[in-house]
Structure 1
Amino acid sequence: MAKVLMITGDFVEDYENMVPFQALLAMGHQVDAVCPDKKAGDTIATSIHDFEGDQTYTEKRGHNFALNATFANINAADYDALYLPGGRAPEYLRLNAKVIEIIQHFATADKPIASICHGPQLLTAAGVIEGKKVSAYPTCQPEVKMAGAEYVELPMDGAITDGKLVTAPAWPAHPAMLKQFVALL
């Protein structure tokens, strides 16, 4: 079974954080959920994004999620794969130099990476998607293109794999994204 690193943070999208975390654990994989400046046992706040007919998603406060590993102790070389959930966390996590170094390690080592919704903001900041086909929440399209990737518009329940990279637009894509990600593990 694979050892998966999940980088997350406050106001990550609740489903995009919890569902893959639990599903990968249920399949027998080890998943270490970490957040900069936090340790195992600390919690992060999540938010629930929903599609209710407005021009963009709505946001509500979600659950508290307990981290099970300490960010400061992470050695990327110890992991087989990386998962980057979306929500609002990626917009500030991408400013953390160690987060960027970790993402670059996985890309350079050609290890599987899965990212959903706003998670590709971390991939664009790390400069690891040039020449790749990438999906993300539609509002991330300009960033994906500026990073030199081909933005792929998918239905909200779709996912795409390009090499060892799996991306998807939002939490309705969990079945497709997880199926493709697990195939790479």
Structure 2
Amino acid sequence: MTAKKILMLVGDYVEDYEIMVPFQALQMVGHSVDAVCPDKKAGEKIRTAAVHDFEGDQTYSEKPGHNFILNATFAELEIQTYDALVIPGGRAPEYIRCKSKVIEITRVFAQADKPIAAICHGLQLLAAADLLQNKKCTGYPACAPEINIAGGTYIDVPVDQAVVDGNLVTAPAWSAHPQWLAEFLKLLGTRVEHH
């Protein structure tokens, strides 16, 4: 297997599972993963939001998650050295998409047709970067209007399923990690042997 270099675009209050699980799982199979946050450096922490719980309110509640230590510095990125992009969900995509450099980085991956995996609210960044034209994708159901306005086609799938369209693999929430990551690994050309 050829090890790939993967970039994760994250920020404070990213969803805990959606950063932790792909960050660890992709390294487990031999890839290197750099998690970066605008205006922060390697060794600095971001807060995560966890336990998006459904407790009878009109939307989910949110509890503090683990602190996550960034392992790369946003300002020092050499984008062309990366093979793929991961965009976790939570609250981070909503505000990191307002930074022009984040939009620019995201577009570089799309224009080079490199694999992009986005989950949950991560679709907000792809919509803001105008990268969903004629793409079939899914995301957190509350992001469906943004996906459709951005020219994408929102596909309503069970919470544990993923949608693949070309270089893009998307999923509604962390329950889809097994499917979402398996499809992303296929795009990366990573073979995992089942015995």
Task: State the alpha-carbon separation in 2 of the partners of residues 39 and 51 from structure 1.
Answer: 34
Could you say which residue in structure 2 is the equivalent of 1:38? Answer: 40
Could you say which residue in structure 1 is the equivalent of 2:131? Answer: 128
Q: Which runs of 4+ in 1 moved over 6 A?
A: none
TM-score by length of 2: 0.93
Is the aligned partner of 1:57 residue 2:60? yes
Identical columns (%): 63
Which ranges of structure 2 fall in alignment gaps of 5 or more residues? 189-195
Task: State the alpha-carbon separation in 2 of the partners of residues 176 and 137 from structure 1.
Answer: 16
Q: Deviations over 1:98-130 (max 9, x none)?
A: 100000000000000000000000000000110
Could you say which residue in structure 1 is the equivalent of 2:79? Answer: 76
Task: State the alpha-carbon separation in 1 of the partners of residues 25 and 55 from structure 2.
Answer: 26
What is the CA-CA distance between 1:85 and the residue it aligns to?
0.2
What is the CA-CA distance between 1:57 and the residue it aligns to?
1.9
Which ranges of structure 1 fall in alignment gaps of 5 or more residues? none
Aligned 1:88-103 pairs, distance under 5 A: 88-103=91-106
Is the aligned partner of 1:6 residue 2:32? no
Secondary structure of 2:89 counterpart: coil
State the number of aligned residues: 185
Secondary structure of 2:19 counterpart: helix
Partner letter of residue 101 of structure 1?
A: E
Task: State the alpha-carbon separation in 1 of the partners of residues 169 and 39 from structure 2.
Answer: 27
Secondary structure of 1:9 counterpart: coil
Could you say which residue in structure 1 is the equivalent of 2:191? Answer: none
- Aligned with residue 160 of structure 1, among 126, 143, 163: 163
Secondary structure of 1:77 counterpart: helix
Secondary structure of 1:118 counterpart: helix
Task: State the alpha-carbon separation in 1 of the partners of residues 4 and 53 from structure 2.
Answer: 31
Partner letter of residue 128 of structure 1?
A: L
